Each structure stands twice: as C-alpha cells, then as structure tokens.
C-alpha cells in the first residue's frame, strides 16, 4: 500500500504562524489593510482594520478590471522598491493589459513557498526539468529554480516546450527524475518519448498554470508510470497558491500568505463544499496587496482533515472559468473541460482550440498533432466527430474539425486555453 505523507506545507505554515493560524491571519489581514491605506485605490474603499476574520466578507471585491483601470493606484510602496512588473493580457472590458507589481521581498515569499511545497514532488539529490518560462529573472521558472537550489535539487531550466525531440533529449541526457510544466506540454513530451522509444525515467510530475484533465493524469501514469501532482496559482496571487499532496484530494492552500474564499456572483461567501468563484486576499505582500481579488476560477473548498493528516484548507480542482461556457442556438452548452477529457484521450492530439459561433450553431475544432504521433495512427476528422458524438458533447451542433500536422514542434499559444 502506497504511503501517504503529510504535506510539507503543514509544518511550514505552523512555524510561520506559531501554531495559531486564525490569530496570525487576523493580525496579518490588519497589517494588509493598514498597508493598503497608502494606495489611492484602496484609501476610500477599505477600513484601517477589522475585529474578526468574519468581517472580511463585508469588504468590497477587487477584479481584473480594477488592475487594468487603476494601474499603479493599487501600488503601496515607492516605485524604486518595485523589482518586477508582470504584464498580463486581459479579456476585460477595456482590452488593455493588467500589471502586477512585486517588491524583492514579495518575490522572496514565493521562493520560500516553492521551497517548502515542492518537497512533496521532488527530493534532495534529484533533478527537476522546468517546462515553464525561465528566461526572465523573477519569472515563475526562475523562482522555482531558486527554490530547487535551496532544496539541493538540480534544476534544468528548459522553458516552455516547443521542439519535442530536443525536449525529450534534454530529459534523457539530464537524468531528470521529475518535471514541472503545463498539462499540454508535459503530455505532448510524454507521447513523443513513447513514439520515439526514448526512455525518460520520470518518477513524478507537477502540473500547473492551466486546467489538469483527469485523462492527462491517466496518460502520464500509463506512459511513464509516474505520480502526477497538481498546483494551483496565478500571477496575481504571486504565482503560487496551493499544491497537491500524496492523497491527491485537493490542493493545500498556503494559508500563512493567502486567505481563500469561495464567493457567489455578488461577492457573498459560500459554505465549504459549494462551488463558486475563488477570491483571495494577500496577507504578506507589500508591493501590491490584493483584497478579495476575484480570480474568475470556479472551485470549492474541501472541508475536513486531509488523508495526509493536514488540517490546512484545500481547494478542489478548478472546474472552469466564470462565463467561459458557451450556449449554442440549439441549447447545447460547450465547456472546455468536457472537451479536454475527450480530446486529450486521443493518442495523436497534442493541443486543440475551440471556436464557437453560437448563433450559427457551429463549433470549429482546430487540432494540433505531430509527425511522430501519426506514424502508426492516421489522424481522422471523421473519427474525432464520432468520438465527440458518442460522448454526447455535440448534440444538435454542426462541427468542423481541422487537423494540422507539425514536424514535432508544439505551437505556443498565449494565455490560458479557452473557447474563442
């Protein structure tokens, strides 16, 4: 029977909070509210302090549009103290980018979190390949690499997967035991290794930055026989938010740094176990603290003690995005996560895009595949349609499937995968 170890975040959080999490969170929330008074945006919106954590729900929420429209109005330190600015595209009302500001101390908080969360996945003396952006100092790949070095783990700073043959060779030649990357990139790499007969001795994989379909977990386990973990985070929360444990029953939240809520469309908190939108409040960030920031991600809080033994709150796997589902003229609802579970189960699919025309009742599916995937299995648009029909995902919808073969190169698309 597989041994389930308690998440290393448990002892880290207890040490940071001196064992009294609620008192610590209230104290840090009030420090955050005090810091926020230096912001022109928060000055008239927030009180200087609250008397209980329950009062958090009475405070206004913050959105991506607020970041876009207010810009530096949310920054609470002099500009010379800002060491990194991350610019993100947004689909908000303005179409303008949003920017998130970090001090050097804010960045150190994230390295410390990664150094205490990653031991779930990788151990001292091992090697981890980083399939996330690494080129910029302070980027997610760079922070993970810094954390790994503190753990006496060798980081392989690869970056996003493009050339699959080169990537597979890096895994083989570096002797990597573990990988951190997105579902699309890691699955495509595993399938290339399988097709090319390349032996990569991967013991564990950490998937982050996008939805993690169940079928991807199964496929990686089948190909590499590896343990698959999940991480939830976004740039606004400092890149790291919550990480899976050996029990694989939700991701443990870094509760010393973040307060998570599940809220309804009006911003009212929902009970544990009820699905809604994730909102978070930063407790330790000083450059740009965020109070009740609406993520747009749909999930729920899992109540009770985890099977690993930790009492840290857990967030369930992301179920989708607010307003991301598309209702077609015939009444069928198109959900990205449903198509993920079906299409990523097709051996030659490395990625796909959905373009919906609701009024025309038309769904266009653009599938990417690679030459090596097609050596033994011929891609077929007809079979894809049949599979979707059998899965009852396209009832009453006209579907056009376009399959594009690439020479073992994985196209890179900006932003999270979503229905256009």
> pLDDT digit string (tens) for 172-212?
999 999 999 999 999 999 999 999 999 899 999 999 977 88
Task: Report the pLDDT averaged over residues 238-245.
Answer: 94
| Per-residue pLDDT, 1 | 55
pLDDT of residue 34: 97
Give the pLDDT of residue 418.
84
Q: In Å, how far from its chain's centre is CA 368? A: 22
Q: What is the DSSP string of 186-232?
A: HHHHHHHHHHHT------EEEE-SS---HHHHHHHHHHH--EEEEEE
CA gap 263, 60 in Å, rounded = 12
For the four alpha carbons of 285, 287, 290 and 294, in that order, the dihedral sign comes to negative
Q: What is the pLDDT of residues 104-141, one digit of tens each?
A: 999 999 999 999 999 999 999 999 999 999 988 888 99
Cα separation, 130 vs 208, whole angstroms: 11
- Segment 374-388 shows an average pLDDT of 87
Band the pLDDT of 411: cuts 50, 70, 90: confident
- Read off the pLDDT of each residue in 320-339 and give the average, rounded to a whole number: 89
Look at residue 231 in the predicted model and tell me its pLDDT.
Answer: 96
Average pLDDT, the chain: 93
Q: Please state, for a pLDDT cut of 90, what percent of the chain lies above it.
A: 80
State how far the Cα of 172 lies from the Cα of 110, in Å rounded to an integer: 29
- pLDDT of 90: 56
Distance CA 398, CA 356 (A): 10
Q: Phi/psi at 38 (nearest 5 deg)?
A: -85, -5
In the predicted structure, residue 95 carries a pLDDT above the cut 70: no
pLDDT at residue 132, as a whole number: 93
CB atoms within 10 A of CB 153: 22
When pLDDT is averaged across residues 147-161 and rounded to a whole number, the result is 96
Average pLDDT over residues 267-294: 97
- How far apart CA 256 and CA 63 sit, in angstroms, is 22
Assign residue 411 a region (left: φ > 0; alpha: ψ between -120 and 50; beta: otherwise). Answer: beta
Q: How far apart are the first and last CA of the chain?
A: 45
Mean per-residue pLDDT, 228-257: 95
Exposure string of 264-303, with b = 16+ CB inside 10 Å and e = fewer, is eeebebeeeeeebbbbbbbbbbbbbbbbbbbbbbbbbbbe
Higher pLDDT, 264 or 415: 264
The pLDDT value given to residue 92? 44
- What domains lie within the chain, and their CATH numbers? 1-322 (3.40.50.12780), 326-406 (3.30.300.30)
For the segment 35-49, the average pLDDT, to the nearest whole number, is 95
Answer for the pair 264, 270: CB distance below 8 angstroms, yes or no: yes
Which residues does 292 contact at the CB level (< 8 Å), separation at least 6?
Answer: 56, 59, 60, 61, 62, 261, 263, 267, 279, 280, 281
Q: Say how far apart CA 102 and CA 79 lie, in whole Å.
A: 10
pLDDT in tens, 64-80: 999 999 989 999 999 99
């Amino acid at each position: 029977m597989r041994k389930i170890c308690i998440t290393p975040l448990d002892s880290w959080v207890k040490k940071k909070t001196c064992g009294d999490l609620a008192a610590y969170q209230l104290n840090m929330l009030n420090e955050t509210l005090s810091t926020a008074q230096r912001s022109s945006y928060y000055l008239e919106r927030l009180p200087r302090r609250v008397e209980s954590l329950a009062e958090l729900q009475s405070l206004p929420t913050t959105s991506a549009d607020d970041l876009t429209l207010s810009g530096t109005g949310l920054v609470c330190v002099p500009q010379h103290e800002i060491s990194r600015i991350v610019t993100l595209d947004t689909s908000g009302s303005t179409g303008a980018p949003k920017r998130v500001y970090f001090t050097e101390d804010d960045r150190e908080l994230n390295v410390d979190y990664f150094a205490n969360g990653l031991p779930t996945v990788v151990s001292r003396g091992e090697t981890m390949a980083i399939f996330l952006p690494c080129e910029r100092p302070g980027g997610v790949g760079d922070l993970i690499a810094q954390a790994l070095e503190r753990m006496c783990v060798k980081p392989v700073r690869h970056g996003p997967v493009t050339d699959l043959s080169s990537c597979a060779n890096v895994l083989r030649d570096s002797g990597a035991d573990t990988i951190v990357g997105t579902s699309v990139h890691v699955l495509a790499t595993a399938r290339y290794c399988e097709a090319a007969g390349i032996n990569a001795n991967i013991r564990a994989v950490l998937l982050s930055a996008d939805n993690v379909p169940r079928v991807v977990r199964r496929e990686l386990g089948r190909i590499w026989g590896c343990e698959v973990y999940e991480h939830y985070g976004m740039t606004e929360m400092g890149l790291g938010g919550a990480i899976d444990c050996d029990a694989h029953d939700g991701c443990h939240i870094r509760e010393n740094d973040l307060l998570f809520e599940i809220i309804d469309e009006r911003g009212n908190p929902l009970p544990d176990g009820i699905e809604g939108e994730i909102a978070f409040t930063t407790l330790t960030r000083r450059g740009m603290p965020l109070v009740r920031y609406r993520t747009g991600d749909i999930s729920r809080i899992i109540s009770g003690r985890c099977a690993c033994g930790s009492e840290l709150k857990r967030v369930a796997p992301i179920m989708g995005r607010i307003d991301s589902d598309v209702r077609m003229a015939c009444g069928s609802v198109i959900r990205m996560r449903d198509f993920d579970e079906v299409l990523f189960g097709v051996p030659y699919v490395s990625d796909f895009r959905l373009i919906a025309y609701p009024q025309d009742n038309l769904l266009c599916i653009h599938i990417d595949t690679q030459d090596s995937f097609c050596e033994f299995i011929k891609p077929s648009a007809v079979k894809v349609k049949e599979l979707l029909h059998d899965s009852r995902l396209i009832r009453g919808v006209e579907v056009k499937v376009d399959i594009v073969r690439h020479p073992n190169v994985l196209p890179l698309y900006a932003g999270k995968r979503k229905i256009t």
